[in-house]
Structure 1
Amino acid sequence: MSAVETSTQEALRGYTTLRLGGPARRFVVAGTTAELVSVVRELDAAGEPVLLLGGGSNLVVADAGFPGTVVRIATTERDGWDVAAGRDWDGFVAETVAAGHGGLECLSGIPGSVGATPIQNVGAYGCEISEVLHSIRLYDRRAGEVRTLTAAELGFGYRTSVLKGTDTGVVLSVRFALHDDGLSAPIRYAELARTLGVEIGARVPVAEAREAVLRLRRGKGMVLDAADHDTWSAGSFFTNPVVPDGELADVLARIADVVGEDVPVPRYPARDGVKLSAAWLIERAGFAKGHQGPGGRVSLSTKHTLALTNRGSATTADLLALAREVRDGVLARFGVRLVPEPLLVNCAL
């Protein structure tokens, strides 16, 4: 096999930001793009179950682990703003900022790898990957060939793309379209604008925008820190629910029955309706920051109710129990079903 085989029964908890997950029956590392294509092709030909692993920041892996081969994508090649899938995301963002190139600064501090960002159209603080992505190269596992897809072909939506929920394409590299005037993209997120002391729509030096985003994320436990259990998470566990326009009145009426008609409900325009705040719904359903799950081994972050955290000795079963409690509590109270953002591997809510 072209990739370097490192072990069998490798514990996946060491490769996820939740620090959860049982063993992989087989674990290999692809250090170059050529190795990545070769090893996936060989495994597919053998009919072997494959799990692709980047930064492990968006994975919930079962305590039983994965009964196949995990391929860790450790590719780091770069040609200008065409970047290999295995490159550390925040490290790459820091490089673009240092070079005075704007467009990615509001996505600072997000853990994971470059290749994962287009799959779920990663976004934060008013910016989404879809706005700055030019194209990707991927290995098409059905056709057995490498293809290039433009941003328009990726079917981007809120935290989704045509790649999400399917394993038929392996992202090999991502090409970005950035600007080089040293300024950020227009600031569109109100909290970030207040932190920077500017009006919505203003542009600021990219380094200032990055530092402000990092401060905000640290305050919410969203920048990885081994000493802080609030960061032992998969980031935001639930996506903000999008309510179709035709259902919005009924949903808002039900929420008003619970919280009162005079309480404003945070809502934002969305492509297919109106987006509500999952964190707001969770809190109003009775789940406060720090709400504990089984045995106190898991809890909502003490800084941000959207993050479900491992307090140091948790199991994946503990985490899923807490996720079900929160999901079912919001559904019972407001009639809104929250959907998990991470990929659930060999487990389910």
Structure 2
Amino acid sequence: MTVTTPALADLTTIRVGGVPDRLVAVDDRDALVAAVLEARDSGEDRLLLGGGSNTVASDDGFEGTVIHIRSRGVDRLPAPEGRVRLRVQAGEPWDDLVALTVGNGWSGIEALSGIPGSTGAAPVQNIGAYGQEIESALVGVEFLDDITGEEEYLSRAELGLGYRTSTLKRGRSGVVLSVDLELTDGTVPGALGAPLSAPVAYAQLADALGVPLGSRVPVAELRRAVLALRSSKGMVLDPADPDSVSSGSFFTNPIVSEQFARSLPAQAPRWPQDPLEPDTVLTIPLDGVHPMDVPPLAAAEYTVKLSAAWLIENAGIRRGFALPGSSAGISSKHTLAIVNRGGATGADVAQLASFIQARVQAEFGVVLQPEPVLVGLEL
């Protein structure tokens, strides 16, 4: 019997990518360790692939070994009263994990509902949505270091988490074997009513729920609202929705100096970042505010997060846009997503992304950075 190696197009959510030289599927932690060490010792190139939601690959294939991480399992660890600590294997699908926690009345990652991909990739990217990031619940990860070949435990502080980044994304070579999370147990004795979510920290989500910012709602209700919002943007994988054939948000929201932000049109959305806690959004409105009125530090010390979607739209690129003759296009529901309309190549996706970058840079002087991992492709 002939065994055919699947193409990366079959293993990624945007459905592009050629056939790798070799693909190894690993179904447990020990097999993952063995596969990574074997690839390391052979000296060949290696690509780690989980759910394939954050990977855009060339159709030329991959010259090396693709390690497809499929290890599953969620174990409960000892934790302080009122808290729940979980150890989650790297290949556990992220949204399956969120559904499990919400179903048990545990809060802390419910706003991250609907994000595709595997749990092991979540801390690498410090995934976030609707005012919540994995960092707030993360304890640490079991990690296999490529250089030493040794397994070690990296705490949250050692991971150097930031906006969609970590030391692992910035170049520390190795693989996450499992992830430890600590959540709030809303089912502890004495709790009244349905288990509640963490405070709602995103205006659009608060509006969808009909509550003020900072409110807590039943955790299952918050998950339903998040899934509905993400579905309306084509950001939940759905075989019936062609706008979900993507890698999610293709560009990160740029973070610029406060001074540069003031050079942009007044209507450009912006969120000041706390200079002492760079990933914390402040509630200081910048529009129409004199720099001397921004407390408590000098305005020059602030950085500002911009909306990549707004920049793209106002550079003249609308939902549904595609370059002539290309099968890659902008989602009809969300400007940040590049979708495969059927038969697109990795080169098609990269060409459109490069075009978007050039238009935004020419119009606003901002260079958008891609969020997914590009394999054999450059912008």
TM-score range with shorter-chain normalisation?
over 0.9
Residue number among 16, 23, 29 corresponding to 2:19 in the alignment = 23
Tell me the SS of whatever aligns to 1:216: helix
2:287 aligns with none
Deviation per CA, 1:125-172: give whole Å up to 9, x if none: 000011110111010111111111111111011110000043612000
2:182 aligns with 177
1:259 aligns with none
**How far 1:295 sits from its partner (Å)?**
1.7
8 Å contact from structure 2 (residues 75, 88) kept in 1: yes
Kindly, what percent of the aligned residue pairs are identical? 52
Residue number among 92, 117, 130 corresponding to 2:135 in the alignment = 130
Tell me the SS of whatever aligns to 1:327: helix
2:148 aligns with 143
What RMSD in Å do the two structures reach over aligned CA positions?
1.4
- Quick one: distance in 1 between partners of 2:123 and 2:323? 32
Q: Which runs of 4+ in 1 moved over 4 A?
A: 6-9
**How far 1:9 sits from its partner (Å)?**
4.3
1:216 aligns with 229
* TM-score after normalising by structure 2: 0.86
2:35 aligns with 39
**How far 1:244 sits from its partner (Å)?**
2.1
1:3 aligns with none
**How far 1:39 sits from its partner (Å)?**
1.2
Does 2:274 correspond to 1:264? Answer: no
Tell me the SS of whatever aligns to 1:163: coil
- Quick one: distance in 2 between partners of 1:156 and 1:141? 20
Residue number among 221, 241, 262 corresponding to 1:252 in the alignment = 262
Q: Which runs of 5+ in 2 are unaligned?
A: 77-85, 187-194, 279-301
Does 2:74 correspond to 1:54? Answer: no
8 Å contact from structure 1 (residues 8, 26) kept in 2: no
Does 2:215 correspond to 1:202? Answer: yes
2:8 aligns with 12
Does 2:74 correspond to 1:78? Answer: yes
* TM-score after normalising by structure 1: 0.93
What letter corresponds to residue 332 of structure 1 in structure 2? A
Residue number among 183, 202, 220 corresponding to 1:189 in the alignment = 202
What letter corresponds to residue 93 of structure 1 in structure 2? V
- Quick one: distance in 1 between partners of 2:165 and 2:61? 25
- Quick one: distance in 1 between partners of 2:215 and 2:347? 45
8 Å contact from structure 1 (residues 8, 24) kept in 2: no
**Number of equivalent positions:** 334
2:290 aligns with none
